[in-house]
Amino acid sequence: MILAPDLPPWAAVLVAVLVLAGAAMTLIGSVGLLRFASFYDRLHPPTLGSSSGTLLIVAASIVTFTVLRSRFSVHEILIAVFVTLTTPVTFMLLARAALYRDRIEGSADVPHVEE
Amino acid sequence: MSLLVLAWALTLAQVMLGLSMICAVYRVVAGPRAQDRVLGLDTLYVSAMLLLLVFGIQTGRTLYFEAALIIALLGFTGTLALAKFLMRGEVIE
């Protein structure tokens, strides 16, 4: 299915590059989630999608709607701000929960505290 | 010409985001532990949200933006509740 918004050439190329870069970032992050060995390693790659992936695709969306409506359209910034604020909170909570569970079980591959 | 490039780029981006959702689903199904499944769920909803944004760019409608915003809100709450559950054994104390 060939479907695209009716943008002038410079905007079309810009949006294409931004969307492809964002999707590639997200894919790299998910492949990292698949391939890394331990949970504490796997915690890192998904943030690639929720930081740079989100920012790039949100930028593409801003360019598209600003050019399409020929007025400044920035409502997508809501998503960027929200995801940027919430991802660290959830991942730190999740890491703390995993650390707590591993320590209770006396698991060997827990990151050590330098004291 | 440039619109054709844009159309193919959008389709390719959707395929890549779909593949990234498949990777996240594999992590949810395979585990090995509960925290890995929660992590997979978090990646899954971020990818789905980005996929909806790309749909919005493709069709030029803001409906998809609102759906993406709701997925971001509910996904955050869900992951937070699951992390709290893993830590404490209950969500609301």
**Number of domains forming the structure of chain B:** 1
CB of A18 within 8 Å of any CB in chain B?
no
Nearest to A3 among B7, B21, B56 (CB): B7
Return the pLDDT at A115.
Answer: 58
Contact A63, A18 (CB under 8 A): yes
Let me know if residue B7 belongs to a domain.
yes
Let me know if residue B73 belongs to a domain.
yes
Q: Where are the domains of chain A?
A: 9-105
Domain housing B53: 2-88
B43-83 pLDDT, tens digit each: 999 999 999 999 998 888 888 989 999 999 999 999 999 98
A15-45 pLDDT, tens digit each: 999 999 999 999 999 999 988 888 888 889 9
- pTM assigned to the model: 0.89
- Whether the predicted interface score ipTM is above 0.95: no
Label each residue of A7-62 as H, E or C. CCHHHHHHHHHHHHHHHHHHHHHHHHHHHCCCHHHHCCCHHHHHHHHHHHHHHHHH
Axis-axis angle for helices A77-105, B34-59 (nearest 10): 170
Residues 45-74 of B with CB under 8 A from A: 46-47, 49-50, 53-54, 56-60, 62, 65, 68-69, 72-73
| B89–chain A nearest CA distance, Å | 10
Identify the CATH number of the domain in which residue B20 sits.
Answer: 1.10.287
